[in-house]
A and B are shown apart, each in its own frame.
Chain A
Amino acid sequence: FPMTPEAEDEGKTLRLVESYLQNFYNLQRDRQPHLRHHGENPLAAKLKEMQAFFGLQVTGKPDLNTLEVMKKPRCGVPDVGRYV
């Protein structure tokens, strides 16, 4: 079946969040998802780091304010770690 608009939106949001955190917060690209270790979801942890940096409410969830910041035009240098 064609994806429902909500599910499609969700997929788009997840892709935005993932690529933002990979580009700017050193979220490792998940090459072997079946090996995912237990413990906090790395994406949620990185999301909290990004929310703390921007002075947003630290929820670990891609709420509206967080998505609004992610959509803003910005510098390509990561906010954490080195850029060499």
Chain B
Amino acid sequence: FTAGNPKWKRNNLTYRILNYTPKMRQADVEEAIQKALSVWSNVTPLTFQKVENKEADIMISFAYRDHRDNSPFDGPNGQLAHAFQPGEGIGGDVHLDDEEFWTKDGRGYNLFIVAAHELGHSLGLSHSNDPGALMYPTYSYTDPKEFLLPQDDINGIQAIYGKSNAAVQPTGPTTPQACDPNLTFDAITTLRGEIIFFKDRYMLRKHPERAETELNFISLLWPKLPSGIQAAYENIERDEVLFFKESKYWVLRGYDIAPGYPKPIYHLGFPKTVKRVNAAYSDETTGKTYFFIADRYWRYDENKKSMDHGYPKKIASNFGKIGRVDAVFQKDGYVYFFHGTTQFQFDPRAKRIVKKTRSISWFNC
């Protein structure tokens, strides 16, 4: 919260767009601002009405360097925008640095994301230290089509203005905590010696030489990848990582997604009855890749580039009682299966589970 807890005394607020950036179509600017306002009106009793030719509570403008509010902008990058807490005059106003490359997609800086953040200040919120929160100070891109206001921001704004009038209270995503005993994973892969754990729109990166775990948005490293990756595996031989979501897959070569992807998983030989892949790992020594789907698994020959015959087979028949597989990866000859908050260490030579631990055992909690 902003010191002094400033808030608007009314719920029905007005806004006005004073000018436009030449970098976007006017209609796209207006759409971005409207969507940014609805981020907050969807979770509170607040309403926003657009006005023209008169003073509004929230005046939105694009400004350049010194624009007479004692807070000059600094040119491209650096400070992208700022906004003032609720109050008369400049109170509530949003200023956007017109030297930024404003866009409505992932290039440059997405106007919707930045405007939604600044409007949080206009309504009385200050910065949050939750890295997944919209009110976190640094910019991070999320596809506007996939944007959901995080729970941290919902808690903050509802503490000021109360809950939404909607019959069903909106909720938002929370940011994974590495040492949360209830943490489960969507997918896991190795990547050049590191282990990458995927959860919603996040990735937790664990480097063997570093004690702490790094949390990032997937979009920070790979903007072309969607959130909610369902399976991933590394083909060490070819220095590639494959990512799976629904019936599509992407290939990471080096540190970039290869052109021409995503492709349908059926190119790998899956029958059309298969709609998604739950988990996958590739055995570097045999050149065989194992795909886990529901209670069965397929085996793919990386050299022949085709599925082996005689599959699918029951997971239990070869890997023991590990249930459905959420995520799996192979390291130092062992295969680590994750099911909910449980992790099974499987020895493929002895063909048996040799250890059972918590899912977060890799994070030095």
Contacts and interface: CB of A to CB of B under 8 A. Distances in A.
Contact of B129 (A55, A72, A76, A82): A55
B4 A76 contact: no
B84 A84 contact: yes
Contact of A53 (B79, B84, B97, B129): B129
B155 interface: no
Interface stretch (B70-78, B245-253, B267-275, B344-352): B70-78
Contacts of B123: none
B139 interface: yes
Contacts of B85: 82-84
A54 B133 CA distance: 12
B117 interface: yes
A73 B129 contact: no
B125 to A, nearest CB: 10
A75 B95 CA distance: 10
A18 interface: no
Interface string A11-46: 000000000000110000000000000000000000
A75 B121 CA distance: 10
Interface of B: 2-4, 71, 73, 77-85, 87, 97, 109, 114, 117-118, 121, 126-127, 129, 131, 137-139, 212
Interface string A47-84: 00000011101000000000001001111110101111
Question: Which are the 3 A-B pairs with shortest beta-carbon distances?
Answer: A76-B82, A76-B79, A72-B138
Contacts of A81: 3
A65 B97 CA distance: 26
Query: Interface residues of A: mostly helix, strand, loop or mixed?
Result: loop
Given A75-B117, A77-B83, A79-B127, 9 more contacts: A23-B79, A53-B127, A73-B77, A74-B138, A74-B139, A75-B82, A76-B81, A77-B118, A84-B84
B71 A76 contact: yes
B364 to A, nearest CB: 14
A79 B137 contact: yes
Q: How large is the interface on A (under 10, 10 to 19, 20 to 34, 35 or more residues)?
A: 10 to 19
9 contacts: A72-B139, A73-B80, A74-B78, A75-B117, A75-B118, A76-B73, A77-B137, A81-B3, A83-B121
A75 B73 CA distance: 11
Contacts of B80: 73-76
B63 to A, nearest CB: 11
A73 B73 contact: no
Nearest to B82: A76
B209 to A, nearest CB: 14
Nearest to A79: B127
A58 B263 CA distance: 45
B131 A74 contact: no
A83 B69 CA distance: 11
Contacts of B78: 73-74
Contacts of A73: 77-80, 109, 138-139
A55 B213 CA distance: 11
Contacts of A74: 78-80, 137-139
Contacts of B137: 24, 74-75, 77, 79
Nearest to B90: A84
Contacts of A55: 129, 131
B9 to A, nearest CB: 17
Given A55-B129, A74-B138, A74-B139, A82 B81 contact: no
B30 to A, nearest CB: 22
A54 B82 contact: no
